[in-house]
């Protein structure tokens, strides 16, 4: 399982994003694996398209990528608090780490701090 961060998904969905080509390239290199994203990550990714009236198009793009929504586990509050305290990452990034931990996946991101934290936990894609 490859757990996608918002930075990769947003770049993939927006052809005008400066990281669009890089997102396409990275996703192609891991295309044989299943993709997933935290519920929180998906919500974060859908804010822009929702504001622009393009929610159906964005949802269709996520379906085309076959991104599975990874819900928060029952013990998410404590685990997220621990991740946040240990890493000093923002809560949405902790949701990515938790999704990777829960799914035994690796994190694919453009965020250097998140990538470093994932690697330290053995969760690099």
pLDDT at 119: 96
Structural domain of residue 10, as residue ranges?
A: 2-120
Q: Is residue 68 part of a domain?
A: yes
Mean pLDDT of 77-100: 96
Question: Structural domain tally of the chain?
Answer: 1
Q: How confident is the model at residue 75 (pLDDT cuts 50, 70, 90)?
A: very high
Q: Is residue 75 part of a domain?
A: yes
Confirm if 87 and 108 have CB atoms less than 8 A apart: no
pTM: 0.94
Q: Is residue 125 part of a domain?
A: no
Q: Is residue 15 part of a domain?
A: yes
Query: 105-119 pLDDT, tens per residue?
Result: 999 999 999 999 999
- Of the chain, the percentage scoring pLDDT greater than 70 comes to 100
CATH code: domain of residue 19: 3.40.50.1010
Across the chain, what does the average pLDDT equal?
96
């Amino acid at each position: 399982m490859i757990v996608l961060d918002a930075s990769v998904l947003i770049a993939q969905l927006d052809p005008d994003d400066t990281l669009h080509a890089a997102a396409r390239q990275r996703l192609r290199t891991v295309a044989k694996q299943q993709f997933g994203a935290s519920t929180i990550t998906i919500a974060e990714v859908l804010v822009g398209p929702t504001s622009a009236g393009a929610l159906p198009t964005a949802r269709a793009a996520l379906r085309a990528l076959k991104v599975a929504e990874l819900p928060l586990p029952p013990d998410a509050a404590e685990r997220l608090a621990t991740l946040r305290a240990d890493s000093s990452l923002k809560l949405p990034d902790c949701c990515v780490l938790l999704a990777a931990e829960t799914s035994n996946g690796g994190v694919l991101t453009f965020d250097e701090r998140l990538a470093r934290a994932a690697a330290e936990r053995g969760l690099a894609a």
